[in-house]
């Protein structure tokens, strides 16, 4: 049986920073929203980190050992006549860490748990890439996104019951939505609560299931949602659209997460809110000075080339860059000037240049 140290792949004398680094690496690898992720492995990692990442809980874990700790954590019942030898549960009471409500786990021990209540159901989140052009990311745009997902059944409105029929109390759990079992162990009796398998925790069942969703309360289909992309958003940034993920019967829908994928521009590069481009000028233009038209996000802008401009000179067009995200103002546009040296000269051009050496 793997203990928490083995799960995170660290030594028993590992520092807090070592444990945190190990968890972040493995959690990123096994996150269920990632391709190839493993939801059960992620939960296992999270459970291990919630204990070893807290100094007090880690000390308690080291004191009683893995098996006893797991047995206590998986039960809501009291410790029995034998007690736990002075084990301090104060760090767990009412605490909630990344989805683990220790008030529920140890509620019956202290009388302060949420006995009979269960965690709110939540639909899965959806992650999608959102391709944008350079200009769309700069100035913002509205998009209709239509992921194929589970949505609340339009006919029964999520109840699972055919219209005109009622919901009845589940006979297996007597309407509580939970099944209570008692397990005898060497250190006492443990009381365990689990979701009723018949009603899936709802406590009620339809007298006649909905013909559209077969009583599930949700159906799978494409549903468009209009998303407003703010001006100034950058490549790789994530937009969260609350409640537009997968629907679930009797609970809240998950969220929709859109990762911006900005397409490359043939002429512009972007760094933060600044735009960069390059322009070529002739040798006479660089030597004598001139004005050239430079393409920017706002169209062509006249740029003055001073006399004697050197190749590689960078010039700034103030406030011609990308609008700042969620605030006023804009970045700048930087133009790198490259002087083009001709490869072929006429006799007259050659003679004029040779005179410069005198």
- 213 labelled ligand-binding: yes
90-99, 199-208, 222-231: least confidently modelled range = 90-99
pLDDT exceeds cutoff 80 at 307: yes
In this predicted structure, what is the pLDDT of residue 353?
A: 78
- 173 labelled ligand-binding: yes
The confidence band for 1, taking pLDDT boundaries of 50, 70 and 90, is: low
Other Cβ atoms less than 10 A from the Cβ of 65: the count is 10
In this predicted structure, what is the pLDDT of residue 298?
A: 96
- 231 labelled ligand-binding: no
Other Cβ atoms less than 10 A from the Cβ of 335: the count is 22
The confidence band for 350, taking pLDDT boundaries of 50, 70 and 90, is: confident
Fold matches, 4-115 and 269-357:
no
CATH tag, 269-357 = 2.60.260.20
Tens-place pLDDT, residues 53-70: 988 889 888 887 887 777
- 43 labelled ligand-binding: no
- 153 labelled ligand-binding: yes
Looking at per-residue confidence, does 81 or 253 come out higher?
A: 253
Q: Could you tell me the maximum CA-CA distance found in the chain, to the nearest angstrom?
A: 109
- 156 labelled ligand-binding: yes
In this predicted structure, what is the pLDDT of residue 131?
A: 95
> What is the CATH T-level fold of the domain 4-115, as seen in this structure?
Helix Hairpins (1.10.287)
Q: Which two tokens stand for residue 195?
A: 């979701």
Q: Which two tokens stand for residue 60?
A: 């308690």
Which residue do the tokens 């802008």 mark? 301
pLDDT exceeds cutoff 70 at 98: no
Tens-place pLDDT, residues 156-210: 988 889 988 888 888 888 888 888 887 766 556 677 788 888 887 888 888 899 9
Question: Which residues lie across from 281 on neighbouring strands?
Answer: 339
In this predicted structure, what is the pLDDT of residue 8?
A: 92
Nearest to 279 by CA among 298, 256, 304, 259: 304
Express as a percent the part of the chain with pLDDT over 90. Answer: 37
Residue ranges per structural domain of the chain = 4-115, 167-206, 269-357
136-150, 191-205, 214-228, 304-318: least confidently modelled range = 191-205
Region 126-133: mean pLDDT is 94
Residue 194 has φ and ψ, to the nearest 5°, of -135, 155
Dist. CA 291–CA 306, nearest whole Å: 9
pLDDT exceeds cutoff 80 at 218: yes
In this predicted structure, what is the pLDDT of residue 347?
A: 87
In this predicted structure, what is the pLDDT of residue 196?
A: 86
Q: Which two tokens stand for residue 170?
A: 């589940």
Helix, strand, or coil here: 307? Answer: coil
Dist. CA 272–CA 324, nearest whole Å: 9
Region 126-140: mean pLDDT is 95
In this predicted structure, what is the pLDDT of residue 188?
A: 64
Predicted model pTM: 0.58
In this predicted structure, what is the pLDDT of residue 88?
A: 38
Give the CB-side neighbour count of residue 338, counting CA atoms within 13 A: 7
pLDDT exceeds cutoff 90 at 282: yes
Dist. CA 311–CA 313, nearest whole Å: 6
What is the H or E stretch that residue 130 is in? strand 126-132
Which residue do the tokens 């979701």 mark? 195
In this predicted structure, what is the pLDDT of residue 47?
A: 87
Q: Which two tokens stand for residue 237?
A: 């940034």
In this predicted structure, what is the pLDDT of residue 93?
A: 34
Dist. CA 358–CA 356, nearest whole Å: 5
Give me the count of residues in the chain: 358
């Amino acid at each position: 049986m793997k203990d928490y140290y083995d799960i995170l792949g660290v030594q028993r004398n590992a520092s807090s920073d070592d444990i945190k680094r190990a968890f972040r690496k493995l959690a990123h690898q096994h996150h269920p929203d990632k391709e190839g992720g493993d939801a059960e492995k992620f939960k296992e990692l999270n459970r291990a980190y919630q204990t070893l990442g807290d100094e007090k809980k880690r000390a308690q874990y080291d004191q009683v050992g893995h098996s006893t700790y797991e047995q206590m954590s998986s039960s809501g019942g009291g410790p029995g006549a034998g007690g736990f030898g002075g084990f301090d549960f104060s760090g767990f009471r009412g605490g909630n860490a990344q989805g683990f409500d220790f008030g529920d786990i140890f509620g019956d021990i202290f009388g302060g748990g949420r006995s009979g209540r269960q965690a709110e159901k939540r639909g899965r989140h959806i992650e999608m890439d959102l391709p944008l052009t350079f200009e769309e990311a700069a100035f913002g745009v509205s998009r209709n996104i239509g992921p194929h997902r589970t949505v609340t059944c339009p006919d029964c409105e999520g109840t699972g019951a055919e219209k005109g029929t009622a919901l009845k109390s589940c006979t297996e759990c007597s309407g509580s939505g939970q099944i209570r079992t008692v397990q005898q162990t060497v250190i006492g009796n443990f009381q365990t609560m689990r979701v009723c398998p018949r009603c899936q925790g709802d406590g009620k069942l339809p007298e006649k299931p909905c013909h559209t969703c077969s009583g599930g309360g949700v159906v799978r289909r494409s549903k468009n949602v209009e998303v407003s992309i703010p001006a100034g958003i950058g490549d790789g940034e994530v937009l969260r659209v609350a409640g537009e993920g997968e629907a679930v019967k009797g609970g809240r829908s998950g969220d929709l997460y859109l990762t911006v994928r900005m397409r490359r521009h043939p002429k512009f590069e972007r760094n933060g809110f600044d735009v960069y481009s390059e322009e070529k000028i002739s040798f006479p233009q660089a030597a004598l000075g001139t004005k050239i038209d430079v393409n920017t996000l706002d169209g062509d802008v006249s740029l003055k080339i001073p006399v004697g401009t050197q190749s590689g000179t960078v010039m700034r067009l103030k406030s011609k860059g990308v609008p700042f995200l969620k605030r006023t103002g804009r970045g700048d546009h930087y133009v790198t000037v490259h002087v083009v040296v001709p490869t072929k000269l006429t006799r007259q051009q050659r003679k004029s240049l040779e005179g410069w050496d005198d």
